[in-house]
Chains A and B, each alone.
Chain A
């Protein structure tokens, strides 16, 4: 059976068939036909954001917390350009999004028409794939393929640009999915020889380490379970990138903490001294490796990644394995069988020795609240509720990563690759929609939160009880920290002047506002935040001087870590400055 339908109707029908629950969007001239289709259609819920960047980040938050693709709908020109930061963010962090953009009518394309932008050109290098649909008859197959590409292989954003006349024109729509060639076939399973070689390496390693990343999360919850199994079988300790937190439980004795620029001493030292590194779904980011020529100089390296282009990109490896993390982990667990792990006690003793450095210790003084303490208390008072944490970008993000212990995947949503300030609140909105009833907290900085502050209105409108916990140090703290280290404390433009009264602002949006100034009020105020059945913004005034340690200064090796109390003010040579 097939029936003539408009392009807009076909689109909506396809979204419903794909199982889409929410569309994060903002209307405009070039998507009016689609908005008219949405009117009165209760199969999809449209979440009206306040800025298109908010739509893209909210879709990311939904996707990361549920494992399902996030869907965005925006108009042509400024609607599309506003969404681009979120699209680029999803591209860097491998988040599945399907972004529908309106476009001017096909006969106007290229004429500098009103609200025309070359969306395909602009997003070519920050989408996994993009399409300009010129015929409504192609729409159904295109949408189906867009979902397939966004969600399989290395996930990522896919954009479909639909000219207005294509939304209005009609084409036959059949009851069954449109026929299309299968042209995207990512490799997911490793070859038996690769698995055998990996097992042989794991069996004989004296100082093995698992270095895991966002790929384990993206591969689905099963990958995290299998990681735990493989760890139990082999006994190797585990560290993770910022993106991979939660794949391995932070309360496990073999957990080393996060690695990299603000990673723990034990994680970075173990990476440096290991004899076998098993990279699972991480990509040797420069924030992780530090100075490349000093990165884990004596180890044999295995790299498991679904994206062949991530392998040997920055660090040459000995055994590349292209495949899906869950599938390859399953293969490894199976082939390991009932082999006995090697005695790793010397390695563990060495690691325990590094642990005694207590690299996350920070000075507890009388006076302003230390931001690290605020995160620790937030963790202590909320962890039993299994909350979802989002963040903005800066010191607070690193403190959240360091002091909030994640024990399950999909609970930690942060902008890692692009490092986008303004990510956290819209991501919390998306996460809350996807996880009704869950406690969702954005751990924010006072500067970052202002980048998408307008989304407070979205949370109010859709009755989303998200919590925004601002670690207000009145500085772009991470910038200030770099200026201390690199530019002799010349604080060029890093002071957060003219801040709004966050409590009054909360109230203006119909939220509850709470200010914390005194450490003695910290617990009670956090409790009040949790207990309030509605959105809350907490303005937690924290030490303006606190810095984020440990830290591997840019261009330094893993062994050259600065801990709290090390001298922090100074300058750097040009080589180091350029690496920042």
Chain B
């Protein structure tokens, strides 16, 4: 007997929640308990009184599963609003990466040149290393990190995606 996987799509969800203890565990646990995927998850409080947090989840699954994820999130008591940015229309997504590269001489120069081209900033330097900061879409960060692999990549840290609708309206 075989277990058959199904076709999946990438979706970016933003979830506005009451900033109460355990909410992150509740949401992350919902994904594991029901077998949904999390590609990335970010969370931070966004209101002046720290009462509300915004969570951005990048997930993938077949469309009916995405619909279920939305419904399951929506029925949690501390969840105010769930928006599927991918469905809702034009939106922007950004991720922040810190990328450490080690090298000297020509290799070092080459790393800096690639970083300049990608729009990365240098935020730490030693004689033989850089830490670059790049805020970009996930794809661009992927390609930046993979280019650096050949130019002395030591490590990369990524924030996960945050996103927002384009235009005048808020979520």
Query: Hey, which bits of chain A sit against chain B, CB under 8 A?
Result: 120-121, 124-125, 128-130, 132, 149, 154, 183-184, 307-309, 311-313, 316, 573-575, 578
Contacts and interface: CB of A to CB of B under 8 A. Distances in A.
A125 B26 CA distance: 8
22 contacts: A120-B22, A124-B22, A125-B29, A125-B30, A125-B33, A128-B77, A129-B77, A129-B78, A130-B22, A154-B75, A183-B77, A184-B77, A307-B75, A308-B74, A309-B72, A309-B74, A312-B64, A312-B67, A312-B68, A313-B71, A316-B64, A573-B1
A312 B76 CA distance: 18
B25 interface: yes
B25 A124 contact: yes
Given A183-B18, A313-B68, A578-B1, A308 B75 contact: yes
Contacts of B18: 183
A124 B71 contact: no
Contact of B71 (A125, A308, A575, A578): A308
Contacts of B77: 128-129, 149, 183-184
Given A308-B75, A312-B64, A312-B67, 15 more contacts: A124-B22, A129-B76, A129-B77, A149-B77, A154-B75, A183-B78, A184-B77, A307-B75, A309-B71, A309-B72, A309-B75, A311-B71, A312-B68, A313-B68, A316-B64
Given A129-B77, A183-B77, A575-B1, A121 B25 contact: yes
B4 to A, nearest CB: 11
A554 B1 CA distance: 16
Contacts of B29: 124-125
A120 B25 CA distance: 10
Interface string B54-92: 000000000010011001101111101000000000000
A432 to B, nearest CB: 33
A132 B23 CA distance: 12
B17 to A, nearest CB: 11
Contacts of A128: 77
Nearest to B18: A183
A313 to B, nearest CB: 6
B97 to A, nearest CB: 32
Nearest to A130: B22
B25 A183 contact: no
Interface of B: 1, 18, 21-22, 25-26, 29-30, 33, 64, 67-68, 71-72, 74-78, 80
Contacts of A124: 22, 25-26, 29
B68 A309 contact: yes
Contacts of B25: 121, 124
**Secondary structure type dominating chain B contacts:** helix
Contacts of A313: 68, 71
A451 B67 CA distance: 39
A132 B80 contact: no
A578 B3 CA distance: 11
Which of B25, B29, B67, B76 is most buried by chain A, counting CB atoms within 10 A of its CB?
B67
B5 to A, nearest CB: 16
A53 B85 CA distance: 44
A93 B159 CA distance: 40
Contacts of B68: 309, 312-313
A132 to B, nearest CB: 6
A45 B74 CA distance: 37
A414 to B, nearest CB: 25
Contacts of A574: 1
B69 to A, nearest CB: 9
A132 B22 CA distance: 9
A575 B18 CA distance: 43
Contacts of B67: 312
A309 B72 CA distance: 6
Contacts of A312: 64, 67-68
Which of A130, A307, A309 is most buried by chain B, counting CB atoms within 10 A of its CB?
A309
Nearest to B30: A125
Nearest to A322: B71
A311 B67 CA distance: 10
A394 to B, nearest CB: 27
A573 to B, nearest CB: 8
A390 B73 CA distance: 34
